[in-house]
Amino acid sequence: MSSLKDKVAIVTGASSGIGAGIVKELLQSGMKVVGLARRKAKVEKLGKGYDGKLFARETDVTKDGDIVNAFNWTEKNVGPVYVLVNNAGIARMSPIDEADIENIKQVLSTNVIALTICTKEALKSMKANNVDGFIINISSITGHYPTPIPGFSIYTTSKYGVTAFTESIRRELAASGSNIRVTNLSPGLVESEATENFLNKYAYIKSEDIARGVKYIITQPPGVNVAQLTLRPVGEVL
């Protein structure tokens, strides 16, 4: 297991929740962490008191140009990407026949299209710099089992897409002889700004739990790819 010190990680959706927890865990490991989020000021507050160094970049992942600029800036100013954590994601609850079309597009754009473009840019950086790095896509338990809670059809669809995409690129890289490792990380219900309405009804885990899962993935010895990691709260019935 090689040291993570000074290696470069990009985390999307870094301003709060799971993303913020992952940023802190990677900084604790001494990494250079580029946190991408629309709320840059919130990301900047995460960087104090750690061995690693934080770089906050205001980025809207639904804008292709923002993504490309963020990755180009990172490679030029921080270094080649070693870890990408595709965490940015949103949910919009609504029965499908009542769903706002713009909300449908926003969920798919954020959860699937942006993740795909970020992966493309990270792989480009890794290959150009001969980096055997990690792509970690934050999916969801709903990317394996549809939730019984009504109104989540588009979110569930997006997370199934993430699960399928992750396994597809893992196989694609393996077939090419690449040592870049790819993981689909699927949490159950996680405490965050977006899940406040569910926390008094269902068992949940915390962002720090997901962050430790990320650390576990990227500290495996060469030759070990954690292809799927599922983290669910004890007693979860969803």
Please state the three-class secondary structure of 96-141 as a single string: HHHCCHHHHHHHHHHHHHHHHHHHHHHHHHHHHCCCCCEEEEECCH
Helix (H, G, I), strand (E, B) or coil at 202: coil
Which tens digit of pLDDT belongs to each residue from 157-191?
A: 999 999 999 999 999 999 999 999 999 999 998 88
Q: Residue 192 pLDDT more than 80?
A: no
User: How many helices (H) does the chain have, and how many strands (E)?
Assistant: 7, 7
Res 194: pLDDT: 66
Q: How large is the average pLDDT for residues 106-113?
A: 98
Res 80: pLDDT: 98
155: Cα within 13 Å, side-chain hemisphere: 21
Q: Residue 237 pLDDT more than 90?
A: no
Helix (H, G, I), strand (E, B) or coil at 192: coil
Higher-pLDDT residue of 184 and 149 is 184
d(CA 88, CA 111): 7
Percent of the chain past pLDDT 70, that is, above it, reads: 96
183, 137 contact by CB (below 8 A): yes
Catalytic residues: 155
User: Distances in Å between the alpha carbon of 212 and those of 51, 76, 199, 215, 216?
Assistant: 17, 29, 21, 5, 6
d(CA 84, CA 61): 14
State the virtual CA torsion across 62, 65, 66, 72 in degrees, nearest 10. 140
Q: Residue 2 pLDDT more than 70?
A: no
Encoding tokens for residue 215?
């650390």
Split at pLDDT 50, 70, 90, the class of 1 is very low
d(CA 32, CA 20): 14
Which tens digit of pLDDT belongs to each residue from 47-100?
A: 989 989 999 999 999 999 999 999 999 999 999 999 999 999 999 999 999 999
Domains and CATH numbers, the chain: 8-231 (3.40.50.720)
11, 19 contact by CB (below 8 A): yes
For the entire predicted model, the pTM comes to 0.94
Which tens digit of pLDDT belongs to each residue from 55-65?
A: 999 999 999 99
Higher-pLDDT residue of 190 and 133 is 133
For all residues of the chain together, what is the average pLDDT? 94
Q: What is the DSSP letter of 50?
A: -
Higher-pLDDT residue of 218 and 150 is 218
Q: How large is the average pLDDT for residues 106-125?
A: 98
